[in-house]
Structure 1
Amino acid sequence: MARNSKMSFLLQRLLHCPSNSKSQFLKEPSQLHSYSSKQEQGQEISHLQTRPYPPPLTEQQLSTLNHLLPRLLSQPDNLPTALRLTSAALHTTTPLQTLPLSHLIHFLTSHPDTSPTFSLLTRLRHAPQIHHHISPIALMLLTSYFNNRMCKPALAVFRWLRRPDSPSPPTRQVYEVVIEGLCRNGFVFEGLSAARDMVLAGEFVAACCGGLREWLYRGMLKEARVEDAVELNDAILGFEKCAGSGSDDEEEAKEKVLAVLERVIAHWNE
């Protein structure tokens, strides 16, 4: 009974449900066997969009959430509840780094099914007031996917961020994690493609060149593309030397890096 009361209180506090409608969310986790219907999700998203930012969670509520999420995630049928709890917590002014997201991130990136991952990302996408959470959460997901050697799900998240209607295009840090993760796990062609996108997006700067150059170089050598590896390595080195000067030489050097990447990508399967 105490456990159920604590869960009910937290759900009501996070989701701000009126007492006469709280039964929608205060069911036992075992009763939630599937994701909400599209209509229910739409109603929930609309409600979250129109109400003001709730205050941050208290230490006691954070502690309760921290203990509750692992228990919910220990049973797959409870995942919808865990996602709703996390989404509701993100709609408060609680600092992101204080929320116990590691449990959920670990769970999502330990399974090949990406449906729950995109369920979370979609909730964030449809709530403009919390779009600033998308990039750091995506970065957590990408890092964990790559650490688990699950490159295809990581690529799916990266492509989701790159969509034309994306509310949070890839940041420089996202590109770095993606390129390193792909090359480290043998997806060199995809790593080169991400590097090209990074240059086109204006996120390729001297500060990140060294590490990316090394990963791209190593990856291409493993693919026995020695000449291409040397040419790209030299082009990036040339950009590093003049980067930050604001001169025509810097722009020419960047264009050379882009040209080498595009040539290598175009002839990859020949």
Structure 2
Amino acid sequence: MSDPVLFEMKGNIAFLTLNRPEKLNALNYATNDLLLQFLDHLEDDPEIRVVIITGAGDRAFSAGGDIHEFSGSISEGTEIAVKAFVRRGQVMTARMEAFRKPIIAAVNGIAFGGGCEITEAVHLAIASERAVFAKPEINIGIPPTFGGTQRLPRLAGRKRALELLLTGDTFSPIRALELGLINKVVPHDELLPAAVELANRILRHSSVTAAGIITAVTRGLNVTIAEGLQMESEQFARIASSRDTREGLDAWIERRTPVYTGN
């Protein structure tokens, strides 16, 4: 059997591909666990500075959780289902959201349920014009379980999120762009090049500074503005003495391109 997640490295960019195309890249437990393993590895690899996540095949980014698998867990009892299904998915999306290296979702097709929740959790997202999104969990009698009831309202606003959550209706990539779920819509054949282009725009800058920005933004969303400003100050204090900050300042003063080392 093929691995449910494929890994490839090109320069400083890691590509993670959800690899169950015959199941529309549904997120079974093995896929969730392997994604977490890869993220642990990539976080510790200094050569990797940006991660791009996409789906295998032309039909789906991910159709969401593997219904056959988690239906079995529900049949075994609520406690088992919460631990095996809900917590597993929430840990995965929380890991992506708080990851200190930028993660870009390249949404190449269907992004339903958990696939939509990955898109909500990662830092940036670009969608193919063929992509289609939905929060369809209500159709099978459950609420979203990988963070969809919390992140979508923060991105789109309460009323717009509730319309999607309570109807289960599909929505287009243009609508996803309007809602703030994604950053850009591109022709299908240009999806990965567009994601790489965005990654390269990030790679021009200090990885230390990028990590500090991600930390301040992610943590600041869930606290008061005063607490968020304190986090911003703390990130500045942590980064200001770095070699990258000194290099950035010196390069600007000397009118040259900075050369960052990630220190």
Q: Taking structure 2 as the reference length, what is the TM-score of the superposition?
A: 0.31
Which is strand-richer, 1 or 2?
2
Name which one, 1 or 2, has greater alpha-carbon Rg. Answer: 1
Which is helix-richer, 1 or 2?
1
Tell me which of the two structures has the higher relative contact order, counting C-alpha pairs closer than 8 angstroms and 6 or more residues apart. 2
